Chains A and B, each alone.
Chain A
Amino acid sequence: MAVLHTTNKSPLQTRDLESCLRLTRPGSGILLMEDAVYGALRSTEASARLAQAAKDRRIYVLGPDLAARGFTPEEVIDEVEVVDYGGFVDLVAEHHHVQAWV
């Protein structure tokens, strides 16, 4: 089982998501939470990079953090799956390790 990577910083403001993507292997899971959810949105300067990364990685975004920030699942790029807290727990259980890019 692969590693689940979590990241919580906005990719429009920091390089943390970029570091995460650089150091994840194909097949890894990546969960965007807190301010990282902005990275999952369509039509931002970060959208294309994430869509590219999603070709060989599974990328998730935490729904409650999206809603808190005023965005709906429809505004998330197609390559990214929206999960709730239950889905977050499942992801943690499915992976061997969790690496948090805080």
Chain B
Amino acid sequence: MTAAVALQDREVAVDEEGYLVNLSDWNEDVAKTMAADDSIALTDNHWEVINFLREYYAEYQVAPAIRVLTKAIGKKLGPEKGNSKYLYELFPYGPAKQACRYAGLPKPTGCI
């Protein structure tokens, strides 16, 4: 059973938890639409995390667990961003899970 996210010009298939079925379907509109469906307007701060996740996945072929994401963000963007309070404010449904979904990645490995 697959669902879909409706973009202006097409639909993209997602699984029962809302993650893209085909990672290659992703573009910025997909992220914006998924966020809008959660009543969130993506800001530069959101994009910083989404882009970070996409780069992480391209490099390591894995969507990082929350603890790994927090630490890695801290290393790259500084301690004021590498903490769970900051990340949970941006992504209230759970930074790794929600941001990975917007970034078009699979559900993070190591999220329990």
Direct contact of A and B (CB under 8 A): no
